[in-house]
Amino acid sequence: MLIHPDIDPVALDLGLVKIHWYGLMYLFAFASAWWLGSLRARKPGALFTPEQISDLIFYGAIGVVAGGRLGYILFYDLASRLEDPISIFYVWQGGMSFHGGLLGVLVAMLLFARKTGTTFFQVTDFIAPLVPLGLFAGRIGNFINGELWGRASDLPWAMAPREGMMPRHPSQLYEALLEGLALFLILWLYSRKPRPTMAVSGMFLLFYGLFRSFVEFFRTPDSHIGFLAFDWLTMGQLLSAPMILGGIGLLVWAYRKSDK
């Protein structure tokens, strides 16, 4: 059995200003997306110029933060927020939803497509491979903060959140490996060759949904929600189901259109 290293969530204390590891993970996410996007923008025939990548990441960052916060409130914590509406703005207390962040990014990409004279799916196909490293960083931030623990386990790599506590699946690391590194490799390699429009977006939705649904079997459901049905269905799985179906639909549509 392993024990969580109990890392201080504050990476750097400057007195009046405290820099948290989780904030640094967000910085890494946006910086890695900008760097990967800039690499692709330098290739001949690229959809965007290197100068446009900064605007693209800015739009995406607004979508992630706004959508992630609103999504968490709507999907996971609406009742308590209605009792204390001002707490919606207490972002320092945490509470971000990937699925909400995804919806926020999709709205932001629609606006960016209109601004640049491109189509929505051209933009989403471009950004899909840039996202997973940020997801990896976010899950590492969850691990550092000691949050979103998995279910009880007696496996050799099971980890106790604190000394004397029951060992659990380090589900944050499972998600970092699958939703982060594995998804990045799949999308980066798949998108290296020309693909039909919508195909890369479909691959992102499909594999993220599959990976997230799988890890949910090891992750502890939110205590104030619990299982939604059958003593195993979680909110994360329910929200991932449309992603899986949508991903399959986009892939079928993309390749059927390319055959015509």
Residues 42-87: tens digit of each pLDDT: 988 889 998 999 999 999 999 998 888 887 777 777 666 666 667 6
pTM, 2 dp = 0.89
Whether the CB-CB separation of 62 and 30 falls below 8 Å is answered with no
CA dihedral 81, 147, 70, 84 (to 10 degrees): 10
Q: How many domains does the chain have?
A: 1
pLDDT at 32: 97
Instruction: Report the C-alpha gap between 165 and 158 in whole angstroms.
Output: 11
pLDDT, average across residues 109-115: 96
- Domain of residue 58 covers 2-259
Give the mean model confidence (pLDDT) for residues 30-53. Answer: 93
pLDDT on residue 15? 83
What is the reported pLDDT for 44? 86
User: Which pLDDT value is given to residue 79?
Assistant: 66
Joined together, the tokens standing for residue 242 give 């449309």
In tens, the pLDDT along 240-252 reads: 999 999 999 999 9
pLDDT exceeds 60 at position 142: yes
Residue 157 contacts residue 1 (beta carbons within 8 Å): no
- Average pLDDT over the chain reads 90
Interval 227-239 mean pLDDT: 89
Q: Which of 109, 120, 53, 101 is nearest to 208 (CA)?
A: 101
HSE (CB half, 13 Å, CA atoms) of 22? 15
104-107-113-119 Cα dihedral, nearest 10 degrees: 110
Q: In the structure, what pLDDT confidence band is assigned to residue 232 with cuts at 50, 70 and 90?
A: confident
pLDDT of residue 22: 86
